[in-house]
């Protein structure tokens, strides 16, 4: 199983920017913890960060046929990007969005979430720990999908017999 973690604009500045909101943990530290979890659970993981909307869209599209899950923090693009929303919808891959802060307790413009309706789930307001919760959630989703596929295969074999 492969999960691609996509990080949006300014997340490369974690640990520096607005620590009172986002904490002191750097993106590399978050990724290191995610990689440890992935290794422990036999998951292939890939990390990608861009400040550019088009590059994020390209990465989502590259996941089609290559990854079984996406964890995305679209950052400010969460509130503005119909294009990222459409890319997530187009690839039909289980996708969990993560937000370090509770976007619903912040400025009114941050309460608009363009991508949530096309994501499988959302993890909001748990700080950097939200990425761990997303990994646990994705693992559960993958196990459920595998169980469904196994049941369908068994049913098909019974029908053919």
**pLDDT at residue 70 tops 90:** yes
Residues 16, 73, 134, 99, Cα dihedral to 10°: 60
Task: Give catalytic status of residue 79 as yes or no.
Answer: no
pLDDT at site 134: 98
Which is the catalytic residue, given 64, 99, 131, 132? 99
pLDDT at site 153: 83
Residue 39 belongs to a domain with what CATH number? 3.40.50.9100
Which is the catalytic residue, given 22, 79, 104, 131? 22
- Domain count for the chain: 1
Task: Write out pLDDT tens, residues 87-126.
Answer: 999 999 999 999 998 888 888 888 889 999 999 999 999 9
Residue given tokens 């937000």 in the structure block = 99
By the 8 A CB rule, do 18 and 82 touch? no
Residue given tokens 């973690």 in the structure block = 5
The domain containing residue 67 runs over which residues? 2-160
Cβ neighbourhood burial of 105 (10 Å; 0-12, 13-18, 19+) = exposed
CB neighbour list of residue 153: distance below 8 Å, 6 or more residues apart: none
> Average model confidence (pLDDT) for the chain?
94
By the 8 A CB rule, do 75 and 9 touch? yes
Task: Give catalytic status of residue 22 as yes or no.
Answer: yes
Other CB atoms within 10 A of residue 120 CB? 15
Lowest mean pLDDT among 9-18, 47-56, 68-77: 9-18
């Amino acid at each position: 199983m492969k999960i691609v973690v996509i990080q949006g604009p300014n997340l490369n500045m974690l640990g520096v920017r607005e620590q009172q909101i986002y904490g002191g943990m750097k993106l590399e530290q978050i990724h290191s913890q995610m990689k440890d979890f992935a290794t422990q659970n036999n998951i292939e993981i890939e990390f990608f960060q861009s400040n550019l909307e088009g590059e994020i869209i390209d990465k989502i599209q590259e996941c089609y046929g290559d990854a079984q899950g996406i964890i995305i923090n679209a950052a400010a693009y969460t509130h503005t990007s119909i294009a990222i929303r459409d890319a997530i919808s187009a690839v039909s891959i289980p996708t969990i969005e993560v937000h370090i802060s509770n976007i619903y307790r912040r400025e009114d413009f941050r309460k608009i979430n363009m991508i949530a309706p096309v994501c499988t789930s959302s993890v909001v307001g748990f700080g950097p720990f939200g990425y761990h919760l997303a990994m646990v959630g994705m693992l559960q989703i993958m196990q459920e999908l595998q169980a469904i596929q196994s049941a369908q295969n068994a049913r098909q074999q019974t029908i053919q017999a």
